[in-house]
Structure 1
Amino acid sequence: MTLLRCAFAIFALLFLSGCWDRTEINDLAFITGAAFDKTKEGAYLLSVQIAIPSASGEIGGGGGDGGQKKFFVLSAVGKDANEAFLMLQKKSSRKLFTAHRSVIFIGEALGRQGIDNMLDVFTHDPRQRLRTYMLVVKGGQGRDILRSSYPFEQVPMEAVKEMEIGRSELAVTLRDFFMASSGQGVDPVIGVIEAESREKAEVRSDTEMLGLAGTAVFKDLKLVGMLDGYETDGFLWAAGRMKQNRVNAQLPDGGIVGLAVNRAERSIVSDLAGDRLRLKIALTGEGTIVENNSRYDISVPENLAIARRALEKVVERQVRAALTKLQKQYRADSAGFGSALYRRHPKEWRALQGDWHRRYAEADIAVDVELKIGGSGMAGPPLQLNDKEIIE
């Protein structure tokens, strides 16, 4: 009887064990990046960058593949993003696999049209990774970015991912965008990327390079405008996203002093008395002097105070430049004033919520900056100056 049971168990294992419905790795096409654009007819143009496995089986290839290209790009058109993806699958001999996708590019034209339908693709499909980075392509199509090469990485999307991680203050993922879009009192933003061609580059290069180029401002899931690099620095201060930065200021003698910021904080105070809304943003930061090309001996307290005030003025101008464009031109609360009001004064927020963008656009916003400087003893006067040239 025992032998009969063992035989039956072994017979059952022949049918129950194993992964009969598994998908072999050789049957998958690994998507490293995707791009959403719109056609002249208003349809969706979906493009994906697919890594080409090397002869050794490694995705993206290795050092022994010579000049073989490590990726290729597939594109398809559909009336919506889901249909475009199905058309892409029909063009591929392998099953498209999205779990390795690290970046999603959105063409500027599609962004201005609105991305609500595009985002629906990522809402219902559990295979879509919400930690995928998002970037708007300035003045072009996302497909063009996918086609570009990058000298440092086997697959260009890895380079873009590392660039975003390096600028972590504005690294926005799908998850971040969904949370901001569904949150209270804040309009979402996305980083901007731009292809710098060899012909148009200020400094000539032997290859086409990619570069982060500011901030894309969204309102009601539509791209309403962009902040340049200078304004983006001010936005990061205003939004409480500043982690590390470099601030340069000109001193009265014409020299330059540089501060490496290693800590920054933000607080918002609101005054709801009267008809006009008054907001105040208080910024504090700490850093170290890393450059002094002036004649001032920064180790002297009085001169250090001059440098500190000059640096505070620079930060204030950056923040005001960003807030002016956001508040007056785009009427978008990307810095999260409404969100701060919602957390601290929920009752007052409920009264303002329905008309917030108008009230915000008309509000008076004050900016106060206070910096603390440490380690200035090593940043005294330039060593090439003699004693008579130094301001003590």
Structure 2
Amino acid sequence: MKQTDNNVRFLFVSLSVLLLLSLTGCWSSHEIEEQSLGIGVAFDKGKKSNIEKELNEQEEGKDLITSTYQLITPQVASSTTKQAGPQKKSYVNVSETGNSVLQMARELSLRSEQPITGHHMKVIVIGEDLARSFNLEQLLDQVFRDNDIRPSCIVLFSKGRASNTLETKAAGEIPAFRLVGIVDNAYRTTRILPPMSLNKLDGKIKSESSFLLQNVISVNGEVKFAGAAIIKGKTNKMTGFLNEEELEGVTWITGKGKGGLVKSFDKETGQLIVYDIESMKSSIKPRVKGNNISFDVNIESEGRLSENWVVSGNPFKNEFLKKAEKASEKEVKRLVRNVVEKMQKEYRVDVAGFGNRLRIEHPRVWKKVKKDWDQTFSEIPINYHVKLTIKDYGTSGSAKK
């Protein structure tokens, strides 16, 4: 028995030693102090930096791209915490111009001893001029292939120079984090699209369907989400733009809003009524009769009466609540009708998912029309049905009868 126990101990010790020998540890690791963490990148039409002009560098080809990388380095982080002041930045922006996205990233190694890493990349912003002239599949090919950049990284569009969205005048604020934070505010408004991650964007591009990219504008270091860019499926280039109201219409059609409000006006007094959205759902129902296709859009929402400028309106009375509901429904119908008209008549694109519903419910019909779907969609009749219900009106109001 004793001999058996000794054999077991010897075997256990031997296995432990072998396992220790096989452990490599972090042999391929790099110290955090030696890294520059890339947290954002902006792509714009080519514009050479001062140092590139000084070197008089000439790239082959005329279609140049300027990549602006937002970096956080240990030196920046430590100095920011030690020194306070309105001019102190918590980030560094570095730009490179060329015709290869990968080469531009590698060029940074000629300007700093700290190589850039993309593991923490949060946002990619694409400028308008670039999106109009470049195919997004080609532009982002290297990004899609890069194992360093996570598929959850979100993609935005910018009217104007995308690099401007990675600037701020607020001390301690990091622009890339600010953009991601605004995306998270979708529960407060119908003017923010669901986040478009690299993973989702790759699927949209491969499907050849038209889609929207959230637009962000920047002025003097301040930014605002304002409307969306229309990316045409056939070309994967920007073909148009939806303003903030039109983006609201798309949100109502898709039913993907998490919150927001509807401003309408009382029919009799012309005074303001504000409906606060608590829930929203929508269904797109395709109708097929022979060669004729049509759609019914059924929108439902529950919310609360959050602001009422109608002095004579008593929110405790069902009669007034019904009037408020009808006024809000009329406004939603207007938003939906306007954006559908713009999609069908001006841009001839489907960016609200009508084709996808047809593909799901009538796959045989979809196979016949999918090749020229955007053109076909522009001639299809669409009917709207909107039902809003005020479930809550707060405690303010008159109890008089």
TM-score range, shorter chain: 0.7 to 0.9
Structure 1 position 162 matched with structure 2 position 178? no
Q: How many residues align?
A: 366
**Counterpart selection for 2:313 from 288, 296, 299:** 296
Secondary structure at 2:214's aligned position in 1? strand
**Counterpart selection for 2:265 from 250, 253, 271:** 250
Aligned to 1:231: 246
With 85-94 and 211-220 compared, the bigger mean Cα shift is at: 85-94
Give the Cα–Cα distance (whole angstroms) in 2 for the partners of residues 270 and 69 of structure 1: 53
Residues 346-390 of structure 1, C-alpha deviations (whole Å, 9 max, x = no match): 121112212211110111112211111101363535x9xxx7xxx
* 1:276 Cα deviation from its structure 2 partner: 4.5
Pairing of 1:55-74 with structure 2 (within 5 A): 59=77, 63-67=81-85, 68-74=88-94
Aligned to 1:108: 128
Please, which runs of 5 or more residues in structure 1 have no aligned partner? 198-207
Structure 1 position 33 matched with structure 2 position 40? yes
Structure 1 position 217 matched with structure 2 position 234? no
Tell me the amino acid that sits aligned with residue 98 of structure 1.
Answer: G
Secondary structure at 1:238's aligned position in 2? helix
Pairing of 1:1-392 with structure 2 (within 5 A): 17-39=24-46, 41-54=62-75, 59=77, 63-67=81-85, 68-113=88-133, 114-138=135-159, 140-146=160-166, 148-151=167-170, 153-167=172-186, 170=193, 171-183=195-207, 186-197=209-220, 208-220=221-233, 221-251=236-266, 252-273=268-289, 275-294=291-310, 295-376=312-393, 378-380=395-397
Secondary structure at 1:20's aligned position in 2? coil
Please, which runs of 5 or more residues in structure 2 have no aligned partner? 1-6, 48-61
**Identity across matched positions, percent:** 26
Give the Cα–Cα distance (whole angstroms) in 1 for the partners of residues 290 and 169 of structure 2: 56
Tell me the amino acid that sits aligned with residue 374 of structure 2.
Answer: H
The answer on whether the counterparts of 2:41 and 2:70 sit within 8 Å (CA) in structure 1 is yes
Root mean square deviation, CA, Å = 2.8
The answer on whether the counterparts of 1:298 and 1:380 sit within 8 Å (CA) in structure 2 is yes
Taking structure 1 as the reference length, the TM-score comes to 0.85
Structure 1 pair 13–281 and aligned structure 2 pair: CA distance change class (3 A) = closer
The answer on whether the counterparts of 1:53 and 1:70 sit within 8 Å (CA) in structure 2 is no
The answer on whether the counterparts of 2:33 and 2:74 sit within 8 Å (CA) in structure 1 is no
Taking structure 2 as the reference length, the TM-score comes to 0.83
Give the Cα–Cα distance (whole angstroms) in 2 for the partners of residues 172 and 164 of structure 1: 10
Secondary structure at 1:372's aligned position in 2? strand
Secondary structure at 2:289's aligned position in 1? coil
Residues 7-50 of structure 1, C-alpha deviations (whole Å, 9 max, x = no match): 9x989968965433321112211111101112273212111011
Tell me the amino acid that sits aligned with residue 119 of structure 1.
Answer: L
Residues 138-178 of structure 1, C-alpha deviations (whole Å, 9 max, x = no match): 1x2112222x2152753221111101111265122212222
Give the Cα–Cα distance (whole angstroms) in 2 for the partners of residues 145 and 226 of structure 1: 18
Structure 1 pair 135–60 and aligned structure 2 pair: CA distance change class (3 A) = farther
Secondary structure at 2:74's aligned position in 1? coil
